[in-house]
Amino acid sequence: MSFFVLMAQAIAVQAVPTTIYPQGPKTFNEQFSTWNAGPDATDQVTPLHRWRTIDKSGSASMFNHATLVSDAAFSLQPGPYLAITATKGADGQWRSGYASTKFSFKQLRGYFEFDANLPVCTKGAWPGLWMLPTEASFLWPRYGEIDLAETVGDGRIYQTIHSIVLGTPGSFASSAPCTRGWHTYGVLWRKSTISFYVDRKLTNTVATPADFTSPMYLIMDLAMGGAWAGTPTVTRESMLVRRVSAWGEQ
């Protein structure tokens, strides 16, 4: 085997960094000095907002959750950071916030990161920092889903990929302190591997499923209740986000 073939193979098999230092210019960077958001029904809205505040189908509710989407859930706070606040109304209905970059930013592979403060030990609170493909499909999870961080009040951070090729989700859960605090949640998406990070330290690596071929957009939301999270024990809760960033292929 020639030297050049050996070198090509060595380059093809990239080592997964145990500590991530994103390289190159950022392809997306949101630090919430302003909140450019709105309920854009299509990508033809003028002016088009950076953040779309309805879910992927334009529904008033968050996918299968009973939580209703409300633009009133978002507020900029000194720091600066964005607060997404879920509130239980007098009618017993939860209202909270969902925001995505579906019409403003998408990317195939690279490093993606949220800097957030999540309610990891609030029973029934279900915050999510995640990504979905722009390729249309009614057969979820064709083209994949990446969950950088989810919690359901059990003191654990769940990082997951969903794939129709896998058939079952590939998930990793790590314990988290039950005190509120800022942490970064990242994913390094490469052609061969998908690696998760908390505070830029490697938590898990899985092989990239074959159907991960569509660019993905960024999502942040706070649902309340549901089969996984259970019945909330509070009537108000917030998740905080102070930065969302992306870099090209690493």
Domain assignment present for 123: yes
Domain assignment present for 25: no
Judged against a pLDDT cut of 50, whether residue 12 lies above it is answered with no
Domain assignment present for 16: no
Structure confidence by residue, pLDDT tens digits, 168-200: 777 677 777 788 899 999 999 999 999 999 999
Q: How far apart are CA 193 and CA 77, in angstroms?
A: 37
Domain assignment present for 131: yes
pLDDT band at 86 (very low <50, low <70, confident <90, very high): very high
pLDDT of residue 60: 64
CATH code assigned at 218: 2.60.120.200
Token duo for residue 219: 């999502």
What pTM, to 2 d.p., does this model score? 0.91
Q: How far apart are CA 165 and CA 141, in angstroms?
A: 9
Number of folded domains that form the chain: 1
Domain assignment present for 42: no
Domain assignment present for 107: yes
Domain assignment present for 106: yes
Domain assignment present for 177: yes
**Residue 248: is it exposed, middle or buried by C-beta count within 10 angstroms (0-12/13-18/19+)?**
middle
pLDDT band at 226 (very low <50, low <70, confident <90, very high): confident
Residue in this structure with the two tokens 């529904």, named with its chain if needed? 59
Judged against a pLDDT cut of 50, whether residue 73 lies above it is answered with yes
Active site members: 145, 150
What is the torsion angle, in degrees rounded to the nearest 10, for the CA atoms of residue 179, residue 118, residue 213 and residue 105? -140
Q: Which of 134, 131, 157, 159 is nearest to 145 (CA)?
A: 131
pLDDT of residue 140: 83
Q: How far apart are CA 170 and CA 204, in angstroms?
A: 10
What is the average pLDDT value for the chain, to the nearest integer? 89
Domain of residue 209, residue span? 76-247
pLDDT of residue 4: 33
pLDDT of residue 178: 80
